[in-house]
């Protein structure tokens, strides 16, 4: 593998669609002549393609704010997360008897963030309730994964055996 | 568990399993987790796709940008993509062997026939971490793969394609699945749906009898409506694009979701500055901050990934050795 050198070695974004005058990596053509040598992003050239899932500089994954007007209540702002986590946590939390309130909202659809509001009955803090909830879901997913893997192998063996049997029968005739 | 009226363990039953699809039922599960798994499988499993193209020559009738876009959509094998870094996490400028796979496409039509250039004509140039990653996906009987461009006599195309790791949240070309079927309650016994109808929805809407029978049969008209009922059986139908095996899409979807949750735990516990007062029936709390997760890594990620990524040590919270086995629910979980 060759590395691009010198002036061309910097950001890809800057040279998208631009004529590249010299690129030793291409080797085959003399670009100082009339041959075009252009670099494209394979798709549209947005610089902010990561903004849905990469935290901004200095941004926290979770911001934690106590709700002072209501007891045992906190609002958690999850950055660079969406309904995948918001719905999962808020719905799951409702299944614990010590949860008094749990809901989430996406304040604006163009910003990848959601707010989760959790109230408990006081026997557990909202933060610990979320931690407990996450642990239980991770555990459920572990059980699911084990069952899935076992069943997949079983089903695969059965269907491969079936295909072999059919192939054998076809050969007989 | 309290949400599970039948009290059975979470389990999977397969309807179909082959190289293209995994059609299965998850039983004794819950809607929110099932739906989150579906969403993660759609958008957050890392795969490989062509992301930057250097156009050395293009005298075909298609514009450079047009061909580049097509190249981006060509499915590439993502088996072993875990051994590649995200390009943005890599120390290199632009791209290197640690974070990309380079493929070249070089074709010229010299005959009088129209020449088709296919995905099979992409030649891998770089040193890959394994023999599988980056290979164009070819599943058709002719062994050609998808058609990229057609050339007539004298036309030529020569491109250098840099394939990088990414997720479908960034661009749909990184989606591992062509489609994911997802359904629950096919008989609409829970009344989550309100069918539009002229006179009688029973007559006007088709019924999937097979599915309804798999889900406990049709509603009994003599029984009163159960307000407490919640869905607990989910039909998944995962079809792969070809870059990952269908079971791997599901397994990696589960792992990605576990990692996401582990990072939440890590983040919340980290801000408290140490083990909190919560008793989960075991002394695992202190190990939750990083180490234990890293150790439970199923071998999908290289050490480099763990170090450079924002998830830190929470690389993977899956497998039989997670500290979760010690939770009060551990006993139900079939000995893992
Ligand atoms: Zn690199």
Please answer yes or no on whether A52 and B169 come within 8 Å at the CB atom. yes
Residue B90 CA to ligand 1 center (angstroms) comes to 5
Instruction: Give the CA distances from residue B276 to residues A89, A136, B118, B192, B294, in Å, rounded to whole numbers and listed in that order.
Output: 20, 17, 58, 40, 21
Domains and CATH numbers, chain A: 3-47 (no CATH), 62-161 (3.30.1360.10)
Cα A3 to the chain's mean position, in Å?
Answer: 30
Pick from B80, B87, B256: nearest CA to B166 = B87
Cross-chain CB nearest to B327 (options A20, A50, A135):
A135
Per-residue pLDDT for B305 more than 80? no
Residue in B39, B93, B278 closest to A131 by CB = B278
Q: Distance (Å, rounded) from C-alpha A35 to C-alpha B144?
A: 30
At B164 the pLDDT is 95
Mark residue B311 as left, alpha or beta (left: phi above 0; alpha: psi -120 to 50; beta: remaining).
Answer: alpha
Q: Among A30, A51, A138, A158, pick the best mutation site for testing chain B contact (most B Cβ within 10 A).
A: A138
Q: Which of A39, A87, A89 lies at the smallest CB-CB distance from B54?
A: A39
**Domains of chain B, with CATH numbers?**
1-45+176-187+229-267 (3.30.1360.10), 48-169 (2.170.120.12)
| Averaged pLDDT, B193-203 | 93
- B 113-152: CB under 8 A from A: 125-127
- The minimum CA-CA distance between A172 and chain B, rounded to whole Å, is 24
In angstroms, the CA B204 to CA B104 distance is 54
Q: Please report how the helices A83-93 and B31-43 are oriented relative to each other, as an axis angle in degrees rounded to 10.
A: 170
B228 Cβ under 8 Å from any chain A Cβ: no
CB of B336 within 8 Å of a chain A CB? The answer is: yes
Q: Residue B287 phi/psi, 5° resolution?
A: -80, -5
> Inter-axis angle of helices B31-43 and B246-272, to 10 degrees?
110
Q: Rounded to an integer, what distance in angstroms lies between the CA atom of residue A116 and that of residue B268? A: 13
Does residue A13 surpass a pLDDT of 80?
Answer: no
Tell me whether B84 touches chain A (CB under 8 Å).
no
Judge: B36–A84 Cβ closer than 8 Å, yes or no.
yes
Angle at B154 between CA B106 and CA B50, to 5 degrees: 25
Distance from C-alpha of A125 to C-alpha of A74, rounded to nearest angstrom: 9
Residue B241 near chain A (CB below 8 Å): no
Q: In this complex, do B127 and A95 lie within 8 Å of one another by their Cβ atoms?
A: no
Nearest to A87 among B18, B36, B333 (CB): B36
Q: Residue B192 burial by CB count (10 A; 0-12/13-18/19+): exposed, middle or buried?
A: exposed
Higher pLDDT: A173 or B143? It is B143
Q: How far is CA B134 from the centre of its chain?
A: 17
**Kind plus residue range of the DSSP H or E element containing B9:** none
**CA B178 / ligand 1 centre spacing (Å):** 28
Q: Per-residue confidence at A43, pLDDT binned at 50, 70, 90? A: low
Asked if pLDDT for residue A113 goes beyond 90, the answer is yes
Question: Does the beta carbon of B297 lie under 8 angstroms from any beta carbon of chain A?
Answer: no
pLDDT tens digits along B269-278: 985 444 443 3
Cβ pair A139:B324 closer than 8 A: yes
Edge-to-edge strands, sheet with A99-105:
A62-66, A73-79, A113-120, A99-105
Contact of B93 with chain A, judged by CB distance below 8 Å, is answered with yes
SS3 A88: helix
- Return the sign of the alpha-carbon dihedral for residues B223, B229, B233, B236: positive
Query: Looking at residue A167, what is its pLDDT?
Result: 85
Angle at B163 between CA B160 and CA B164, to 5 degrees: 145
Task: Select the more confidently predicted residue: B7 or B23.
Answer: B23
If pLDDT is split at 50, 70 and 90, which confidence band does B94 have?
A: confident
Alpha helices in B245-285 (DSSP H): 246-272
Indicate whether this complex's ipTM tops 0.95.
Answer: no
Report the chain B residue with the minimal C-alpha distance to residue A27: B56
**Shortest CA gap B50–chain A (Å):** 7
The share of chain B scoring above pLDDT 90, in percent, equals: 73
Report yes or no: B146 and B102 within 8 Å, Cβ to Cβ.
no
pTM assigned to the model = 0.78
Interchain pair A42, B56: CB under 8 A: no
Mean pLDDT, residues B288-313: 35
Chain B residues inside the 8 Å CB shell of A144? 10, 12, 26, 29, 37, 254
B202 has a pLDDT exceeding 70: yes
Rounded Cα distance, A10 and A20, in Å: 12
Q: What is the mean pLDDT of chain B?
A: 82
């Amino acid at each position: 593998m060759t590395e691009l050198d010198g002036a061309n070695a910097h950001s890809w974004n800057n040279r998208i669609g631009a004529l590249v005058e010299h690129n030793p990596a291409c080797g085959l053509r003399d670009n100082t002549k009339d041959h075009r040598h252009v670099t494209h992003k394979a798709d549209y050239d947005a610089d902010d393609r990561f903004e849905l899932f990469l935290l901004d500089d200095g941004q926290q994954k979770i911001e934690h704010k106590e709700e002072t007007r209501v007891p045992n209540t906190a609002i958690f702002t999850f950055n660079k997360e969406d309904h995948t986590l918001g719905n999962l946590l808020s719905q799951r939390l409702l299944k614990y008897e010590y949860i008094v309130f749990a809901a989430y909202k996406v304040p604006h659809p163009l910003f990848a963030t959601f707010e989760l509001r959790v109230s408990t009955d006081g026997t557990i803090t909202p933060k610990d309730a979320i931690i407990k909830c996450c642990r239980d879901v991770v555990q459920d997913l572990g059980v699911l994964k084990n069952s899935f893997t076992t069943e997949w192998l079983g089903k695969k063996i059965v269907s491969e055996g079936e295909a072999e049997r059919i192939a054998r029968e076809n050969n007989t005739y | 568990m309290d949400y599970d009226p039948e009290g059975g363990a979470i389990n999977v039953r397969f309807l179909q399993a082959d190289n293209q699809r995994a059609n299965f039922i998850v039983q004794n599960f819950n809607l929110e987790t099932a739906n989150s798994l579906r969403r993660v499988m759609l958008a957050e499993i890392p795969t490989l796709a062509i992301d930057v193209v250097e156009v050395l020559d293009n005298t075909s009738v298609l514009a450079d940008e047009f061909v580049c876009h097509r190249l981006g959509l060509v499915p590439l094998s993502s088996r072993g993509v875990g051994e590649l870094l995200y390009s943005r996490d890599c120390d290199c400028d632009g791209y290197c062997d640690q974070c990309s796979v380079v493929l070249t496409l070089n074709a010229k039509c010299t005959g009088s026939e129209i020449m088709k250039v296919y995905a099979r004509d992409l030649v891998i140039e770089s040193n890959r971490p394994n023999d599988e990653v980056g290979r164009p996906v070819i599943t058709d009987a002719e062994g050609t793969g998808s058609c990229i461009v057609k050339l007539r006599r004298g036309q030529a195309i020569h491109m250098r394609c840099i394939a990088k790791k990414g997720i479908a949240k960034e661009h749909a070309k990184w989606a591992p699945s062509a489609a994911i079927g997802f359904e629950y309650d096919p008989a609409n016994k829970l009344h989550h749906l309100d069918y539009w109808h002229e006179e009688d929805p029973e007559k006007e809407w088709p019924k999937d009898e097979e599915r309804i029978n798999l889900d406990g049969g049709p509603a009994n008209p003599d029984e009163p409506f159960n307000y407490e009922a919640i869905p607990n059986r989910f039909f998944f139908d995962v079809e792969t694009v070809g870059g990952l095996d269908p079971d791997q899409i599901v397994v990696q979807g589960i792992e990605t979701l576990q990692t996401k949750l582990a990072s939440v735990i890590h983040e919340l516990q980290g801000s408290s500055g140490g083990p909190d007062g919560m008793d989960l029936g075991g002394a695992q709390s202190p190990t939750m901050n990083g180490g234990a997760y890293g150790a439970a890594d199923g071998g999908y990620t290289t050490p480099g990934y763990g170090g450079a990524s924002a998830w830190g040590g929470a690389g993977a919270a899956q497998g039989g050795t997670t500290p979760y086995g010690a939770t009060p629910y551990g006993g139900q979980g079939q000995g893992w």
